[in-house]
Amino acid sequence: MRDTTSLLPLVVRDLRLEMEGRVLLDVPIARIQNRKRSVVLGPNGAGKTLFLKLCHGLVPPTAGSIEFTSPRSAAEIRRKQAMVFQKPVMLRRSVRANFTHALAMAGVGWSERRRIATETMAQFGLTALADVPARVLSGGEQQRLAIARAASLNPDLLFLDEPTSSLDPTASRQIEDMLEVLHERGVTLVLTTHDLGLARRFADVIFFFHGGRLVEENDAQTFFSSPQSAEAQAFLEHRLFW
């Protein structure tokens, strides 16, 4: 099992993102804990994806801090995390080449990246698709490839934006199984979802957003049994739409 104690927790304090005078995200404090499965919930436009992008370093905040406990350099911290987007980014090349290109960009040598690609495709049921152009895969296959490609980089922390969105039940179950494998491997997972069933099955910790603000952070059992905010209660009762 990997040791991620030197990288996590990730602590967010007084985080704000403003654009043209409008506050898009406001997070007084949040803590992403080592090896905990965190699910970010909230209605459309609540700020869930922005939260992931800020934590991953894709968007600079207007104010506040995003701090790892790791003594590693900023470059090393970037290499130990990855993000999978709601619409997977597929390179114009085969499934196998999507792996080897990503590994090459990470500085992995030729023979090693061939080995890692082969082993990762076998682990996640992609071997038969190895020579297929990635952009002709189905939505579920592309999502599996995107997650497996990120996993091949051996991250300590993986952000996933709506990983089962628009997928049929079988494809969604395959994604959940992949995430469980990564969790057992020791990867810390943070994902957004609208699927309350997935959140109930998967989450250790819930971050609930509404109107661009982190309203509640709680362990999943407490959140679903006795949410602490009126907004979360309304959301769970399907009465909160924006």
Concatenated DSSP letters of 11-36: EEEEEEEEETTEEEEEEEEEEE-TT-
User: What is the residue extent of each domain of the chain?
Assistant: 10-90+155-236
Q: What is the pTM of this model?
A: 0.95
In this prediction, residues 113-141 reach a mean pLDDT of 97
How much of the chain, in percent, has pLDDT values that exceed 90? 89
Question: Is residue 149 over pLDDT 80?
Answer: yes
Find the mean pLDDT for residues 139-163: 97
Q: Above 80 in pLDDT, residue 242?
A: no
Task: Note the pLDDT of residue 60.
Answer: 96
Judged against a pLDDT cut of 90, whether residue 210 lies above it is answered with: yes
Q: What is the mean pLDDT of the chain?
A: 94
Among 12-16, 96-100, 141-145, 163-167, the minimum mean pLDDT is found in: 163-167
- Once rounded to an integer, what is the mean pLDDT over residues 172-187? 96
pLDDT at 3 over 80: no
- In angstroms, rounded to a whole number, what is the distance separating the alpha carbons of residues 238 and 105? 44
Q: If you write DSSP's letter for every residue of the chain in order, what string do you get?
A: ----TTT--EEEEEEEEEETTEEEEEEEEEEE-TT--EEEE-STTSSHHHHHHHHHTSS--SEEEEEE---S-HHHHHHTEEEE-SS----SSBHHHHHHHHHHHTT--HHHHHHHHHHHHHHTT-GGGTTSBGGGS-HHHHHHHHHHHHHHT--SEEEEESTTTT--HHHHHHHHHHHHHHHHHT-EEEEE-S-HHHHHHH-SEEEEEETTEEEEEEEHHHHHHS-SSHHHHHHHTT----
pLDDT at 1 over 60: no
Architecture of the CATH domain 10-90+155-236: 3-Layer(aba) Sandwich (3.40)
In this prediction, residues 81-89 reach a mean pLDDT of 95
